[in-house]
Structure 1
Amino acid sequence: MTLATLFVLVIGIQLGRSAANLVAGAGWTWPDANAGAFPSPIGTAFWTSLPRILAGNAGAGLPSPAPDDLAGRGLVWGSIALTELTLLAATIWVGVWAYQRWGPGRMRGMATAAEAEKVLGVTRLRKVAGIVRPDLYGKHASATPAPAQRAAGDLTEQPGPQLGHGLSPWLLDGRRTKEDR
C-alpha cells in the first residue's frame, strides 16, 4: 500500500511537470527513457529528475535538446499541486468504492436490480401467471366465470370489484383478463 501511494505521488510529479510544459507551449514532455546505464520504459531519468522538478526546474531529465518555452517555476509547482490533488481525489474515490465493494461491511449475497427483476419482477410474474393464479390464467380456466349464488338483498350486486376477477384494472394498469387476451 505504501509503495503504491509513493508511486502515485511520483507519477503525479512527472504528470504535473508535463502538464505545465504543455500549458506553457513546450508540448507534452516526459523524462528520457534512454538515459542511464539501464534503459527501460520509465528510465533512470524518471527517478533522478524528481528533486530538480520539485525545485521548479521544468527541463530536468528531459531528452536533449530540451524544448524551448519550458514552464516557469510557479507554473510547475501549481501544476504539480493540481495534479496531486486530482490523483488524491481519484485514489480516495477508488479506495472508497473498493472498500464498499469488497470490504468487511459489504452486502453479501445481494442481487443486482436486473437479477431481482428477472427472478421476482413483473416479467416473471406474467410468465408464471398460470401457476400463480390458475383460476384466472391457467389452461383450464373457464372462459366465463360461473355466476355466484347470492341471496336476496345481498350487497354484492352493487358495481365494483367482482368476485374471481382479482384486483381491479385501475389498480393494475395494463393488466388484461383472459377474455381480453
Structure 2
Amino acid sequence: MQRERRRDPYPWTREIPVGVALAAGFAIVAGLQLGRSLANLVAGVGWTWPDPDAGKFSSPIGTAFWTSLSGVVTGDSSAGLAQQEVSNGRLAGPSLTWGCLVVTELLVVVVLGWLAIFILQRWGPGRMRGMATSAEAERMLGVARLRKVAGIVRPDLHGKHANPAPTTSVDGLAGRVQRTPGEAAEEPGPQLGRRLSPWLVAGRGTKEKR
C-alpha cells in the first residue's frame, strides 16, 4: 500500500476489458462444443470433437470449431465432425443435444461468475488492502499455531522444563522430610518477641502480667 502511494498507477485502458470479454466469449463457445460432445457421449457414440483438419489450416481448434457453431445451436450433433465419426453410429438427437448444451452453459456461467467475484475481491478496486486473508490469519493465529508455540507462550505450563507442584523441604536432625504446600501452610507463624533482646522480652512479659 505504501508503494502504491509513492508511484503513479498506470491508468486502465481498453486492453484489460477487451481481454476479459474475449476470454469469457471463448469459454461460452467452448461450452457449446463440450455440450455437443457430452450429448454424443451420453448417446453411446463416444467422445466427439470438431475436425481440426477441416478448413484452410490445421490446428488443435481448426475452422470447424467456429463454423459448426450454428449447426450445434440448432441441435445438429454432427456439425463439424469428421466423416468417420459421423458414420460410426447414431449421434445424439436435437433434444438431448439442447439439454446437454444448457447444462454445460450453466456450468460455464457459474465458473465465470465465481472467477469474477474472486478476481474483484483479490485485485479489484474495492479490495481490502493491508488485511490478511482468512487462511493467513488461521495459519498465524489459529489453534494449531497456538498449540505449536505453547511452550514459548506459556513455558510454565507447556515448556519442556515445566516444574510439578512445588514442595517445601525441611532439613532436620533426623533426616530430610518432604512436605506439601498445604502442610507447610499449617506451620505456626513467627512468634511475638522472637529475636528480641532478653531484657525487652522480660519487660514485655511483666507488663502483660499486670
1:116 to 138, 141, 157: 141
Secondary structure of 2:52's partner? coil
Matches for 1:97-116 after TM superposition, within 5 Å: 97-103=118-124, 104-106=126-128, 108-110=131-133, 111-116=136-141
The offset of 1:141, in angstroms, is 10
Residue of structure 1 equivalent to 2:37: 18
TM-score (norm 2): 0.58
Q: Structure 1 75/116 Cα, relative in aligned 2: closer, same or farther at 3 Å?
A: same
Aligned AA (2:101)? I
Q: Structure 1 15/144 Cα, relative in aligned 2: closer, same or farther at 3 Å?
A: same
Instruction: Provide the rounded CA distance (Å) in 1 between the counterparts of 2:65 and 2:90.
Output: 21
Q: Which runs of 5+ in 1 are unaligned?
A: 153-181
Post-superposition CA distance 1:135-170 (Å, at most 9, x none): x98799995368579998xxxxxxxxxxxxxxxxxx
The structure with more radius of gyration: 2
Q: Structure 1 150/117 Cα, relative in aligned 2: closer, same or farther at 3 Å?
A: farther
Q: Is the 8 A contact 2:77 2:97 kept in 1?
A: yes
Aligned AA (1:116)? L
Residue of structure 1 equivalent to 2:107: 86
The offset of 1:90, in angstroms, is 2.1
Which 10-residue stretch deviates more, 84-93 or 45-54? 84-93
TM-score (norm 1): 0.67
Instruction: Provide the rounded CA distance (Å) in 2 between the counterparts of 1:14 and 1:26.
Output: 15
Matched, 1:8 2:27: yes
Q: Is the 8 A contact 1:129 1:137 kept in 2?
A: no
Secondary structure of 1:62's partner? coil
Q: Is the 8 A contact 1:31 1:46 kept in 2?
A: yes
Which 10-residue stretch deviates more, 86-95 or 72-81? 86-95
Residue of structure 2 equivalent to 1:161: none
Instruction: Provide the rounded CA distance (Å) in 2 between the counterparts of 1:113 and 1:23.
Output: 44
The offset of 1:119, in angstroms, is 9.4
Q: Percent identity of the aligned residues? A: 38
Which 10-residue stretch deviates more, 86-95 or 140-149? 140-149
The offset of 1:9, in angstroms, is 0.8
Instruction: Provide the rounded CA distance (Å) in 1 between the counterparts of 2:77 and 2:110.
Output: 25
Aligned AA (1:129)? R
Q: Which runs of 5+ in 2 are unaligned?
A: 1-19, 169-180, 190-210
Instruction: Provide the rounded CA distance (Å) in 2 between the counterparts of 1:143 and 1:52.
Output: 87
Secondary structure of 2:83's partner? coil
Q: Give the structure with the larger helix fraction.
A: 2
Q: Is the 8 A contact 1:21 1:58 kept in 2?
A: yes
Post-superposition CA distance 1:30-86 (Å, at most 9, x none): 000111121001111101110111111110100113132111111111110111011
| Root-mean-square deviation over aligned CA pairs | 3.4
